[in-house]
Amino acid sequence: MDFRSRFRIHWNEHNRLPGTVWPASALAVGLLAPLALLIRTTGFPPYCTPVHVALLDPVIHAVASWALLARFSHVHQLDSWHLGLDRARLDTASRGSLALLAIGITAVLPVMCDSRWVKLAPDLFAPAAALLDAARYAPGETTRWLAVLFVITRGGAVAAAEAIAVSGLLYATLRRRRKILPAALCCALASACLHARLTECGIDPCLWPAAQSFAAQAALGLGCALGYERWRTLWFAVLLKVGFEVSRAAPGLIAALTS
């Protein structure tokens, strides 16, 4: 079986996907995301210490992400199967790949729990740095609870919503008009740009850390798109994104939970 035969997606009524990604009404809901920046600027209530502010950011992004997806699904009358999220319909190859991916993520996590990774790739492990700061300057029960909430919202909410939006909605739309590689590369670029910090830190001194993060996010986005193309399930992308986010946070999560 050649490459083009293996990486093919069949567009039909049993696997239909929308022809447009951002309807005006859904885009308006998506604009709620920048509220996280506004709240960080104006500050939280006095009882919230500064090191906890960064841990609450994902909660706001999660609300905006899921509101956007809910609005999108309502507009296009999409159920979970049309987004590729029905586990009962996954074929054998897809289930096997997901199982191997889950085992791989589980095997990687213990290695990534070493806090020395934060210094080696600071931008890539920015979530861990936020947790380390909270554990260092505000140890205690509040930090432990917020650390758990932080990881759940980053991985289980924000990462999953991003996988659905980029791999399921954007990629599916591009594939109606483009070939596999151009569509997948566009999604990889979109995934990387969502996390790019080049404009925040300028050229010096953090161009290299920002480039590390950009490359990792692009590779992840490309893998998610090609995985969806191959098996027509978003569970591959969702699991990959969740595992990636938990791995990034792992070095700081251990410190926060033991603070």
Cα-based torsion angle of the residue sequence 192, 95, 97, 154 in order, rounded to the nearest 10 degrees: 30
Q: Token digits for 205?
A: 């001194």
* Cα 159 to Cα 161: distance, rounded to the nearest angstrom: 5
* Cα 102 to Cα 155: distance, rounded to the nearest angstrom: 14
Looking at residue 55, its pLDDT comes to 87
DSSP string across 154-200: IIIIIIHHHHIIIIIIIHHHHHTTS-HHHHHHHHHHHHHHHH--HHH
Check if the beta carbon of residue 248 is closer than 8 Å to that of residue 125: yes
Looking at residue 87, its pLDDT comes to 63
What are phi and psi for residue 45, nearest 5 degrees?
-60, 160
CA distances from 248 to 36, 110, 138 (A): 20, 12, 21
DSSP 1: -
pTM for this entry: 0.81
pLDDT in tens, 113-168: 999 999 888 888 989 999 999 999 999 999 999 999 999 999 988 898 888 888 88
In angstroms, how far is CA 47 from the centroid of its own chain? Answer: 30
- Residue whose C-alpha is closest to residue 150's, from 134, 138, 163, 167: 134
In angstroms, how far is CA 119 from the centroid of its own chain? Answer: 22
Looking at residue 16, its pLDDT comes to 46
* Cα 15 to Cα 235: distance, rounded to the nearest angstrom: 15
Q: pLDDT tens for the chain, 259 residues: list them.
A: 444 444 433 334 444 444 444 555 555 555 555 555 555 555 555 556 778 878 888 887 787 777 777 776 676 666 665 566 766 667 777 888 889 999 999 999 998 999 999 988 888 898 999 999 999 999 999 999 999 999 999 998 889 888 888 888 888 778 878 889 999 999 999 999 888 765 444 444 567 888 888 899 999 999 999 988 888 788 889 999 999 999 999 999 999 999 8
∠ Cα 188 193 199 (to 5°): 150
Q: What is the three-class DSSP state of 91? A: coil
In angstroms, how far is CA 49 from the centroid of its own chain? Answer: 27
* Cα 81 to Cα 109: distance, rounded to the nearest angstrom: 30
